[in-house]
């Protein structure tokens, strides 16, 4: 299975070796799109996809994502990045140039519930989640067999609040060892410390089993049932030090009614959690998300 996935990654990298994505945020003013387009044209690049958004044309923030193809990109990266700095300075840009062929390395954290992990693994096996799943870390042994059957390293690290710093030090060592780009919390039921979060800003994606900001905290389905809700949902967001209040990437909902008990609510909710998390992860992998303050712009 690992060899099959690696072939898919190799094919993807070969097909996209000359493609890159430019993500920009800056104060809005005339000439931004023209300057960037002219720059790329001057480098012989062809723009494949372009999306832009202005919070307010009169002094607001401007965001743009451009995907382009450029001949011999692998040999011209330093030149392009160095030359683009002049435009970036002229428009006070916060920018990133991401190379499509550089598939991101991912670590998945999971506890006992496996539905989100299994969804990600299925998407990965099918080639629809174009990433290198470097390892899975869990505070329970439940997922070891399924993970190792796919030749993915599985690391069991018991965790509780008394040994949290020790646990996170071990986790961070593993992330560094595997050169992980970002972390997915696939129903990992441990609160991360500010020190851990600070080392991976906007690079930890969580799935929350309710439609935030409703029912934050423990036992959301029980509380939703007691409240007699008619909608349940799930929220995927970047992790910050404000519990379950980080920038939201994706949300979805499903209708329920008085006939649905807590067990049915949970079953419906888990289905939403799987799809919401998978979409959020794909958008991050495709460099479609720009974080601005506590919001996201998703192109």
Indicate which residues carry an active-site annotation. Answer: 244
Is the peptide bond preceding residue 213 cis, with omega within 30 degrees of 0? yes
Q: Contact at 8 Å (CB) between 106 and 133?
A: yes
> For tokens 């780009």, what's the residue?
181
Q: Contact at 8 Å (CB) between 228 and 260?
A: no
Q: Residue 70 burial by CB count (10 A; 0-12/13-18/19+): exposed, middle or buried?
A: middle
Q: Is residue 43 classed as helix, strand or coil in its secondary structure?
A: coil
Backbone angles phi, psi at 105, to 5 degrees: -95, 130
Backbone angles phi, psi at 55, to 5 degrees: -70, -30
CA 136/CA 133 separation, integer angstroms:
8
């Amino acid at each position: 299975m690992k060899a099959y996935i690696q072939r898919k990654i190799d094919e993807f990298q070969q097909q996209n070796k000359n493609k890159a994505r430019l993500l920009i945020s800056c104060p809005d003013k005339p000439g931004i799109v023209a300057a960037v387009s002219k720059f790329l044209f001057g480098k012989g690049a062809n723009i494949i996809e372009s999306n832009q958004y202005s919070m307010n044309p009169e002094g607001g923030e401007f965001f743009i994502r451009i995907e382009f193809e450029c001949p011999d990109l692998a040999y011209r990266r330093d030149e392009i990045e160095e030359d683009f700095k002049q435009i970036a300075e002229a428009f006070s840009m916060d920018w990133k140039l991401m190379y499509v062929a550089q598939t991101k390395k991912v670590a998945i954290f999971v506890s006992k519930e496996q539905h989100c992990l299994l969804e990600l693994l299925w998407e990965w096996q099918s080639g629809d989640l174009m990433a290198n799943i470097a390892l899975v870390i869990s505070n329970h042994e439940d997922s070891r067999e399924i993970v190792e059957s796919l030749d993915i390293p599985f690391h069991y690290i018991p965790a509780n609040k008394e040994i949290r710093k020790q646990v996170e030090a071990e986790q961070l060592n593993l992330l560094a060892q595997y050169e992980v780009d970002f972390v997915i919390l696939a129903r990992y039921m441990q609160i991360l410390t500010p020190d851990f979060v600070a080392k991976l800003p906007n690079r930890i994606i969580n799935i929350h089993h309710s439609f935030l900001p409703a029912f934050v905290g423990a036992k959301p389905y029980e509380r939703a049932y007691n409240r007699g809700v008619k909608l349940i949902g799930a929220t995927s967001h970047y992790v910050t030090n404000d519990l379950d209040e980080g920038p939201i990437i994706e949300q979805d909902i499903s209708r329920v009614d008085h006939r649905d008990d807590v067990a049915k609510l949970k079953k419906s909710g888990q289905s939403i959690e799987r799809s919401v998390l998978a979409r959020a992860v794909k958008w991050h992998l495709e460099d479609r998300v720009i974080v601005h303050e506590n919001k996201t712009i998703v192109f």
